[in-house]
Structure 1
Amino acid sequence: MFSKSKINEPAPKSADPAKPATDATASAVPPKPTSDFKTSTPPKAKPPASILSSDLHITGNLKTTGDIQVEGTVEGDIRAHLLTVGESATIKGEVMADDVVVNGRIVGRVRGLKVRLTSTARVEGDIIHKTIAIESGAHFEGSVQRQDDPLTKKPAPAPKAAPAPKADA
Structure 2
Amino acid sequence: MKKFKKMMYLKLARAFGRSNNCRQVPTIIGETTKVCGDINSNGILHVDGYIEGDINCEELVIGVKGNILGTVKAQSMFLYGTLQGKATADSLFIANTAKLIGDATHNTIAIEPGAYIDGHCIRVQNKPAAEPAASEAPKTAAAPQPAVVAAPKVIAKIKAVK
Superposition TM-score tier, normalisation by shorter sequence: 0.5 to 0.7
Q: Which residue of 2 aligns with 1:134?
A: 111
Classify the secondary structure of the residue corresponding to 1:43. coil
Structure 1 residue 80 and structure 2 residue 49: aligned? no
Aligned structure 1 segments of 4 or more residues deviating by more than 6 angstroms: none
* Distance (Å, rounded) in 1 between the aligned partners of 2:55 and 2:112: 23
Code of the residue aligned with 1:101 in structure 2: it is F
Aligned length: 110
**SS of 2:96 mapped into structure 1:** coil
Unpaired stretches in structure 2, ≥5 consecutive residues: 1-17, 128-162
The C-alpha deviation readout for 1:127-157, integer Å capped at 9, x for no partner, is 000000110010000011111249xxxxxxx
- Please give the alpha-carbon distance, in whole angstroms, between the structure 1 residues aligned to 2:75 and 2:43: 10
- Equivalent-residue separation in structure 1 for 2:63 and 2:19 (angstroms): 33
DSSP-derived class of the 1:100 partner: strand
Deviations 1:57-108 (A, max 9, x none): 0000000110000000000001111100000110000011000000000000
From the CA coordinates, give the structure whose radius of gyration is larger: 1
Partners of 2:41 and 2:22 lie apart in 1 by 17
Provide the TM-score with structure 2 as the length reference: 0.65
**Higher helix proportion (structure 1 or 2):** 2
Q: Distance in 1 between matches of 2:19 and 2:33?
A: 36
Structure 1 length as normaliser, TM-score?
Answer: 0.62
Give the share of equivalent positions with the same residue, in percent: 28
Residue 24 (structure 1) aligns with: none
1:95 pairs with 2:77: no
1:61 corresponds to which of 27, 38, 41: 38
Q: The residue matched to 1:119 in structure 2 has which SS?
A: coil
Q: Which amino acid aligns with 1:66?
A: G
Deviation at 1:47, TM superposition (A): 2.2
Residue matched to 2:88: 111
